[in-house]
Amino acid sequence: MVTSTVTTTTSTVRARAEGHALDRAVELAERGPIAGGNPRVGCVLLDPTGAVLGEGLHLGAGSPHAEAVALSAVPASRRAELSGATAVLTLEPCHHHGRTPPCSQALHDAGVTRVVHAVADPDETAAGGAAWLRSVGVEALTSADAGIAPAATARAEELTRSWAAAVRRRRPWLVAKTATSLDGRVAAADGTSRWITGPASRAHAHSVRADTDAVVVGTGTVAADDPALTARDADGPLAEQPLRVVVGERDVPPAARLRRGPGQWHHVRTHDLTAVLEELYGFGARHVLLEGGPTLLGAALRAGLVDELHAYVAPVLVGGGTAAVRDLGVTTITDALRWRTVSTQRLGDDLFLIARPEGAQ
Amino acid sequence: MVTSTVTTTTSTVRARAEGHALDRAVELAERGPIAGGNPRVGCVLLDPTGAVLGEGLHLGAGSPHAEAVALSAVPASRRAELSGATAVLTLEPCHHHGRTPPCSQALHDAGVTRVVHAVADPDETAAGGAAWLRSVGVEALTSADAGIAPAATARAEELTRSWAAAVRRRRPWLVAKTATSLDGRVAAADGTSRWITGPASRAHAHSVRADTDAVVVGTGTVAADDPALTARDADGPLAEQPLRVVVGERDVPPAARLRRGPGQWHHVRTHDLTAVLEELYGFGARHVLLEGGPTLLGAALRAGLVDELHAYVAPVLVGGGTAAVRDLGVTTITDALRWRTVSTQRLGDDLFLIARPEGAQ
């Protein structure tokens, strides 16, 4: 009886310490880049008393994985304590020789005897880390099995959701952006559209571009708006630029702004957005931003390809002109596409809403 | 030198006490009804030490004014202290014999020797209260002249803004409501529109109806949507209903829902919304809600009659159908109507935004 109580108390204390470590791992991971093809991952190493030995995050493709960063962050004076240590991770440790050795092996080699992860690795070539660890005698388990509070696991899932969905489907996570007036217009009758939304919305949209692997527009938008599609901040274009992709059979005019740098652009002469997304996945893209126009957005929505809607709505009324989306095939209101609001934010005078399809996570 | 310092300190202390009293008066006034034709007013009576003697608010046409309520709220044991007391008011005391005697006189008769008000009475027939009080030796001044912090005065101005604007212009304050999809649609191609926004938005819209004197729609909306236009809550129609007004030359079908109770309805066979609003003002309406449709909203906007926009935006995409507003005469984006966002709120999955014309208070 006494033994059982002590055991319960010990595992409760451990679950709490590991829950804090998972929260911290998420916090670290969020500092990593969304773009670049790799998941954002955080790792916290704990000694048997629950004190932090080292922590790390993954800074993107070509950089060491979070586990390696955390292991190398342990001070020399405490390296011996790695023997018997616990690793708490947002994502299951990888188990393949990529540009870095498998993290499963690195954790085991360092003496770690317990590995807790929140999200299973959806990548067939990298998965199996937990199973291998168990096969060599390491206690490898999920955060749920470790008794960690569901909220911490949910944060890790949200952090990893878009990348994991892309890898599982072998198709990038697609965010569709609209920037409209209150009456849903993206341009006036004469085609002018600069600017409907305000400076705070536009700055926000640039930061989203910077976090994406590719920005996609239709040839119609190139003809109508001649967008540069670069990611800029107050100081001008950023050093890292998403790939700019034009979709459609029309030519891209020689003087089009997106032909000029910085960064690369690419024209895909098709209307088949699924094929375009698969091609972009092959290039390593996991996050793609669709910036219009109304026809391409309609096609993406009809095909069920849009994972997330980013809607900037300005307190402006136009009364006519170009609507944000065309050709949804909806004739009666019960067939309208309904989304679930994930978050809302005020940006200057504008509203910003993130939504996902009803039923999606 | 010493005397001057003491004086400054005394007036600072007094301004702070009167500022708190004005905040409290606003808080009281906000509990009063917006509909009914009268302003929302709060009154706090202070003794010379700054302690509260009594407080009151105006509960609408036919009820005693806030000043009378506050005077009668002073306990019998403290009535003698009214001699030399200060009245702090959100609105200048009235000076006309309406359904109640002038508040200017009532305050003076009670022995009040200082009257501080935030907003001047814009009503020609009721104004002059402060001037008359000064003429009989009462220290009557504005909250700004009394040294009260501007934030408290701003709250009183916001509280009184719509009613005061209506009275100054002899035309009701006009709120235009839109309930749209993210792409600005109020109905699908087949005319169906139930429901685009969610239950939280619809409940909110009913509470706004309950706070208005009249709800206006065009004959086109009656034909398309057959709205009841009653103010309802979870238990059904409210006891007090706004006047339901149909504008336009077409007939209102005999079976139209709005012909049925509760409350009254009225058909004005004109497209001249200015004339309609003036007529409603004559009936005592100070707050009017325009609920569509797109043609009437366009006409109201073109005529510059809309004081405030209430936009409910649902995370829904329709891709076609009826747009929220028509015929604004805007052909290029720089001519679009731009509004200033006053507040935003999330209602379930929907967004709710209140905006006023740029440049308006």
Domain with B194 in it: what CATH number?
3.40.430.10
Looking at the fold, whether A188 and A85 belong to one and the same domain comes out as no
Contacts of A71 (CB under 8 A, 6+ apart): A45, A54, A56, A82, A106, A107, A110
Edge to edge, the sheet with strand B173-181 lists A316-317, B337-347, B350-357, B308-314, B173-181, B287-290, B214-218, B243-247, B265-268
Contacts of A139 (CB under 8 A, 6+ apart): A113, A114, A115
Q: How far is CA A196 from CA A200, A230, B337, in A?
A: 12, 19, 10
Give residue A4's pLDDT: 54
Name the band, by pLDDT with cuts 50, 70 and 90, for residue B361.
low
Mutate to test the interface with A, among B177, B316, B318 (most CBs of A within 10 A): B318
Give residue B1's pLDDT: 45
Chain B residues in contact with A301 by the CB 8 A cut-off are 317, 319
Looking at the fold, whether A176 and A292 belong to one and the same domain comes out as yes
A172 beta partners: none
Angle between helices A103-110 and A66-73 (to 10 degrees): 20
Name the band, by pLDDT with cuts 50, 70 and 90, for residue A97.
confident
- CB contact, 8 Å: A324 with chain B? yes
Cβ of A324 within 8 Å of Cβ of B350? The answer is: no
Edge to edge, the sheet with strand A243-247 lists A265-268, A243-247, A214-218, A287-290, A173-181, A308-314, A350-357, A337-347, B316-317
- Please report the ipTM that was assigned to this predicted complex: 0.91
Looking at the fold, whether B246 and B304 belong to one and the same domain comes out as yes
Q: State the Cα angle at A57 between A54 and A60, rounded to 5°.
A: 150
* Cis before B293 (ω within 30): yes
Q: Determine the Cα–Cα distance for residues B9 and B29; give it in Å rounded to an integer.
A: 30
Cβ of A190 within 8 Å of Cβ of B313? The answer is: no
Q: Determine the Cα–Cα distance for residues A310 and A270; give it in Å rounded to an integer.
A: 25
> Among all residues of chain A, which has the CA nearest to that of B331?
A189
Distance of CA A356 to the CA centre of its chain: 14
- Domain boundary pick from B135, B166, B197: B166
Instruction: Please name the member of B321, B325, B346 whose beta carbon is closest to the beta carbon of A183.
Output: B325
Looking at the fold, whether B18 and B152 belong to one and the same domain comes out as yes
Looking at the fold, whether A82 and A197 belong to one and the same domain comes out as no
Looking at the fold, whether B108 and B55 belong to one and the same domain comes out as yes
Residue B140: pLDDT above 70?
yes
Tens digits of per-residue pLDDT, B257-300? 999 878 899 999 998 999 999 999 999 999 999 998 999 999 99
In contact, B264 and B214? CB cutoff 8 Å: no
- What CATH number has the domain bearing residue B104? 3.40.140.10
Of A55, A67, A81, A291, which residue is the catalytic one? A67
Q: Determine the Cα–Cα distance for residues B351 and A76; give it in Å rounded to an integer.
A: 54
- CB contact, 8 Å: A192 with chain B? yes
In contact, B241 and B262? CB cutoff 8 Å: yes
Residue B121: pLDDT above 70?
yes
Q: Determine the Cα–Cα distance for residues A19 and A23; give it in Å rounded to an integer.
A: 6
Beta strands in chain B (DSSP E): 42-46, 52-57, 86-91, 114-119, 139-142, 173-181, 185-187, 214-218, 232-233, 236-237, 243-247, 265-268, 287-290, 308-314, 316-317, 322-323, 337-347, 350-357
Give residue B292's pLDDT: 86
Residue A62 carries which side chain, given as an amino acid letter? G
> Among all residues of chain B, which has the CA nearest to that of A341?
B349
Give residue A240's pLDDT: 87
Name the band, by pLDDT with cuts 50, 70 and 90, for residue A1.
very low
In contact, B324 and B295? CB cutoff 8 Å: no
Cβ of B333 within 8 Å of Cβ of A194? The answer is: yes
Instruction: Please name the member of A188, A196, A327 whose beta carbon is closest to the beta carbon of B331.
Output: A188
Q: Nearest CA of chain A to the CA of B293: how many Å? A: 13
Instruction: Please name the member of A182, A185, A325 whose beta carbon is closest to the beta carbon of B317.
Output: A325
Cβ of A315 within 8 Å of Cβ of B338? The answer is: yes
Name the band, by pLDDT with cuts 50, 70 and 90, for residue B11.
confident
In contact, B350 and B316? CB cutoff 8 Å: no
Looking at the fold, whether A237 and A346 belong to one and the same domain comes out as yes
- CB contact, 8 Å: A268 with chain B? no
Looking at the fold, whether B142 and B175 belong to one and the same domain comes out as no
Structural domain count of chain B: 2
Looking at the fold, whether A261 and A292 belong to one and the same domain comes out as yes
Residue A71 carries which side chain, given as an amino acid letter? L
Question: Which of A123, A146, A157 is closest to A26 using CA atoms?
Answer: A157
Q: Determine the Cα–Cα distance for residues B204 and B228; give it in Å rounded to an integer.
A: 16
Which pair of structure tokens corresponds to residue A273? Answer: 């957005």
Average pLDDT, chain B: 94
Residue B234: pLDDT above 90?
no
Tens digits of per-residue pLDDT, B206-217? 999 999 999 999
Cβ of B178 within 8 Å of Cβ of A181? The answer is: no
Which pair of structure tokens corresponds to residue A47? Answer: 């000694």
Give me the half-sphere count of Cα atoms (radius 13 Å) on the Cβ side of residue A293.
Answer: 19
Looking at the fold, whether B319 and B202 belong to one and the same domain comes out as yes
The b/e string for A267-299 (b: 16+ C-beta within 10 A; e otherwise) is bbeeeebeebbebbbeeebbbbbbbbbbbbbbb
> Among all residues of chain B, which has the CA nearest to that of A356?
B315
Which pair of structure tokens corresponds to residue B269? Answer: 């066979």
Q: How far is CA B112 from CA B40, B45, B64, B224, in A?
A: 22, 9, 18, 58
Q: Can you list the pairs that B153-159 forms with residues at least 24 positions away whose Cβ atoms lie under 8 Å? A: B153/B22, B153/B118, B155/B22, B155/B23, B155/B26, B156/B22, B156/B25, B156/B26, B156/B29, B156/B90, B156/B91, B156/B118, B156/B119, B157/B118, B157/B119, B157/B361, B159/B26, B159/B29, B159/B30, B159/B40, B159/B90
Of B55, B67, B81, B308, which residue is the catalytic one? B67
Looking at the fold, whether B119 and B249 belong to one and the same domain comes out as no
Q: Pairing state of beta strands B173-181 and B287-290?
A: parallel
Which pair of structure tokens corresponds to residue B77? Answer: 């044991």
Residue B359: pLDDT above 80?
no
Cβ of A315 within 8 Å of Cβ of B339? The answer is: yes
Looking at the fold, whether A176 and A28 belong to one and the same domain comes out as no
Annotated catalytic, A67?
yes
Domain that holds residue A253: 170-357
Question: Which of B129, B227, B127 is closest to B179 using CA atoms?
Answer: B227
Chain A residues in contact with B304 by the CB 8 A cut-off are none
- Domain boundary pick from B116, B132, B166: B166
Q: Nearest CA of chain B to the CA of A309: how many Å? A: 9
- Domain boundary pick from B166, B189, B223: B166
Average pLDDT of the residues in B338-346: 97
Give residue B8's pLDDT: 63
> Among all residues of chain A, which has the CA nearest to that of B298?
A319
